[in-house]
Structure 1
Amino acid sequence: MPMPPPPELANLSLAEIARLAEDNQLPPVEQWNPTHCGDSEMRIARDGTWFHQGSPIGRQAMVRLFSTILRREPDGGYVLVTPVEKLDIAVEDAPFVAVEMKIDGKARDAVLSFRLNTGDVIVADAEHRLRFEAHDEGPRPYLHVRRGLEALLARPVYYELANLAIEHGDTPPGVWSKGCFFAMEPGA
């Protein structure tokens, strides 16, 4: 059965966003420890495109499915895991990309919701923290998704976040979501 297209974040209420986030039923990949079986011949590019044997995976439903069995290993590597096999997957930066942001409320009462390239919706909070790294090409913002997996914020989403921080005028610059302050300084 084909998956419905992800809803546009801007048209959803805060309650609908929270329901989507809570309804995200994922397999218990952290409980599965099969013997390592090899390489999946898959790669996730920095822009969030999934590849198999060098070709982009065009079916979004397949990408979504694979994303649900993705796990970060203690050594920092990534694997696709099922109860019977574990395959390495190369990840150029972060396995997800936050492609859209919705802001509900203002300043300390704000709630920031992000839609990922997989259709998942994540609300920034104490469990799903925003962090910023310094890189040669400028700051690189990340959102914790689950179990050590992160989403890189797409450049337009980062600019929207930076504008929000400037509007608030906090020192250091940062944003609020669900009562948590996220300083936009690398390493903060």
Structure 2
Amino acid sequence: MPTPPPPDFANLSLAEIARLVAEQKLPPVDKWNPAHCGHSDMRIARDGTWYHQGSPIGRTAMVKLFSTILRREPDGSFVLVTPVEKLDIEVEDAPFQAVELKIEGSDTEMRLAFRLNTDELVTAGSDHPLRFDGTRPYLHVRGGLEALVNRAVYYELAQIALSNGSEPPGLWSNGAFFPFDTQDPEADA
């Protein structure tokens, strides 16, 4: 049975996004502890492309499925986990990319919702903080998994942070403030 197309993010209200997020049912990967079985021969590239045995995975539905069983281990490594097996997966940067932004409200009442490259929806806030590593912003998705905010969305965030009058420059979402680090850590090296 084909999966239905994702909703048109641009036309959703933040209330509709919150409802859709609440409806997302993910497997309880944090409760599964099977024996380690080896390597998956999979890799998530810096640009968010998923690969298997060196070739891009072309079926979006497969990538979405695999993303639901992805887990970050306490040592920082990543695994694909089911109730019966656990396989290593290489992640070059962050396993997800935030590719679209929806803004509602302003100043301290602002809410920022993101659509990920897997069509998962995440609203920034205390449970899903934004962090800035120089000019590389990341959004916490779940269980230590993050999304790298793509360049176009980063520019939208930068414009808000630099024009809203906050000191230090930053962003509000769901009552939480995220200072915007405008320094490039490589510039200090």
The TM-score range, normalised by the shorter chain, is: over 0.9
Q: Counterpart of 1:163?
A: 159
Deviations 1:151-173 (CA, angstroms, capped at 9, x unpaired): 00000000000001122021111
| 2:151 aligned partner, one-letter code | R
Q: Counterpart of 1:172?
A: 168
Deviations 1:54-113 (CA, angstroms, capped at 9, x unpaired): 111111110000000000000000000000000000000000000000000111111100
Q: Counterpart of 1:64?
A: 64
Q: Counterpart of 2:8?
A: 8
Q: Counterpart of 2:186?
A: none
Aligned-partner Cα distance in 2 for 1:159–1:30 = 34
Secondary structure, in 3 states, of the residue corresponding to 2:40? strand
Give 2:178's match in structure 1, choosing from 179, 182, 188.
182
Aligned-partner Cα distance in 1 for 2:2–2:163 = 42
C-alpha displacement of 1:4: 1.9
Aligned-partner Cα distance in 1 for 2:3–2:97 = 19
**CA gap 1:186/1:129 in 2 versus in 1, 3 angstroms:** farther
C-alpha displacement of 1:9: 1.6
Aligned-partner Cα distance in 1 for 2:7–2:180 = 28
Aligned-partner Cα distance in 1 for 2:8–2:92 = 27
Secondary structure, in 3 states, of the residue corresponding to 2:160? helix
| 2:65 aligned partner, one-letter code | L
Q: Counterpart of 2:99?
A: 99
Secondary structure, in 3 states, of the residue corresponding to 2:3? coil
The CA RMSD measured in Å over matched residues stands at 1.2
Q: Counterpart of 2:113?
A: 113
C-alpha displacement of 1:8: 2.4
| 2:100 aligned partner, one-letter code | E
Aligned-partner Cα distance in 1 for 2:35–2:114 = 35
Is 1:77 aligned to 2:77, yes or no?
A: yes
| 2:133 aligned partner, one-letter code | E
Identity of aligned residues (%): 67
CA contact (8 A) 1:131 1:186 kept: no
C-alpha displacement of 1:7: 1.9
Q: Counterpart of 2:141?
A: 145
Unaligned ranges ≥5, structure 2: 184-189
C-alpha displacement of 1:186: 7.0
Aligned-partner Cα distance in 2 for 1:120–1:48 = 14
Secondary structure, in 3 states, of the residue corresponding to 2:18? helix
C-alpha displacement of 1:128: 0.1
Q: Counterpart of 1:25?
A: 25
Unaligned ranges ≥5, structure 1: none
Q: Counterpart of 1:129?
A: 129
Say how many residue pairs are matched: 183
